[in-house]
Amino acid sequence: MPSSRRITLKDLARELGVSTATVSNAFNRPDQLSPKLREHILTEAQRLGYSGPDAQARSLRTGRSRIIAVILAESLTYSLNDAVSSELLSGIAEVLDTRGHTLLLLSGRQNAASVPGASSIADGFIIYGLMPSLKLLSDLPAERPLVAVDFSIEDHANVHIDNEPACYAIARHALKVPTRRPAVVNLRLTEQPCNGRIGDGQTLLPAERTITRARLAGFQRAFVEAGIDPAEVPMWNIEENTFDVCTPVIEEILDLPDAERPDLLLCMSDRIALTVLTLAEQRGLRIPEDLRITGFDGIAEGQYRAPQLTTVRQDSTEKGRIAARMILGMEPAEPRVMATELLIGDTCP
């Protein structure tokens, strides 16, 4: 009895009087040895408490770990609580799981230091959202597959939606009903952090930097088409897509004097729209008579409620599935645009 130490493939081989290669083959290449011997090795392994080749050592030797890393632009805390990124992760996990791969979660934001470390371990990378530092990407091993989600990296596959047309469509829908005071609630759109009204001082992020810029462009096209000067439409900005961060800004909007309060709010996310809805209901505003609201994303929370949110649905779960399948080589790794769907609910019929 060698005892104490965990039993290894080598121990097992010695015990059985065969070579380590044969034991390895018993686990990995059944055709390389007689069925009888294989059976014997497997049962002995079981008996001695050997539960298969060590993943660590195997990965070192083979260069494959069956681990796919998802690198999230936001913090893990945010990403796990946000419905959109949760759905994405869920889609990814679903596909990986069926193919025997596992999911390693990394944030490019907080502890970006652990990314290069962990990077050498993963077989492939799914990058969600534009990283604060693109430098991080250059640390990833060039030979392993990489799929960008909701943005694009040169020479790599990606999955995303077409934000501008989607927002044009919902704004056009909303503007069918005459509006006196439309307004837009943006999501992280300003160069400098700004949680509130966007005034003359602020400059917007460069267009290539953000998907929300494309969403705004869609809204604005619809405004122009409806004969409204986009420059006249008041805009607010939200720094983080959470209820807590939205609240003060939405309160500022809803607590404007009646004559100034918008009667239509185009929001860049369902989270924002739901915050508007909750706070508006608390203030006794009638939806949609006093205030029409649109969101973006189509998260469950906005649909499984009364009144139901009018929004654009993007299938984040499917987006995750596609990204995962591309990484695993189950479908061609190329730039891909997904369709969106206009969901007309009760908040802006």
Q: Summarize as ranges the residues that interact with a second copy (CB under 8 A).
A: 6, 51-52, 54-57, 59-60, 65-67, 75-77, 80-81, 83, 86-87, 89-91, 93-94, 97-98, 100-107, 110-111, 113-114, 116-121, 139, 141, 143, 243, 274-275, 278, 281-282, 300-301, 304-306
Assigned token pair, 33: 């040895």
Instruction: Give least dist CB 64 to a second copy, A.
Output: 10
Instruction: Give least dist CB 188 to a second copy, A.
Output: 20
| Sign of the C-alpha dihedral computed for residues 258, 260, 265 and 271 taken in this order | negative
Rg (CA), the chain: 26
- Residue 193 near residue 204, CB atoms below 8 Å: no
Of 39, 43, 46, 61, which lies in the binding site for DNA, with binding defined by CB under 7 A?
61
Q: Which stretch binds DNA (CB under 7 A): 7-15, 91-99, 153-161, 188-196?
A: 7-15
Q: Is 173 exposed, middle or buried (0-12, 13-18, 19+ CB in 10 A)?
A: middle
Instruction: Give least dist CB 196 to a second copy, A.
Output: 20
- Residue 68 near residue 127, CB atoms below 8 Å: no
Q: Answer with the entry of DNA, a second copy, none that 94 interacts with (C-beta below 5 to 8 A by kind).
A: a second copy
Of 46, 48, 57, 117, which lies in the binding site for DNA, with binding defined by CB under 7 A?
57
Of 39, 46, 48, 62, which lies in the binding site for DNA, with binding defined by CB under 7 A?
62
Q: Provide the CA 327 distance to its chain's centre, in angstroms.
A: 15
- Residue 307 near residue 275, CB atoms below 8 Å: no
Secondary structure string (H, E, C) spanning 119-143: HCCCCEEEEECCCCCCHHHHCCCCC
Instruction: Give least dist CB 33 to a second copy, A.
Output: 21
Instruction: Give least dist CB 123 to DNA, A.
Output: 14
How many residues form the binding site for DNA (CB under 7 A)?
Answer: 29
Of 15, 53, 75, 349, which lies in the binding site for DNA, with binding defined by CB under 7 A?
53
Q: Answer with the entry of a second copy, DNA, none that 18 interacts with (C-beta below 5 to 8 A by kind).
A: DNA
- Residue 312 near residue 270, CB atoms below 8 Å: no
In the bound state with DNA, the residue whose beta carbon lies nearer, of 19 and 282, is: 19
Place of tokens 């029409």: 292
In the bound state with DNA, the residue whose beta carbon lies nearer, of 60 and 80, is: 60
The DSSP symbol for 341 reads E
The DSSP symbol for 310 reads B
Strand pairing partners for 293? 265
Which residues of this chain interact with DNA, rule CB under 7 A? 5-6, 8-10, 17-22, 24-25, 27-29, 32-34, 37, 52-54, 56-58, 60-62
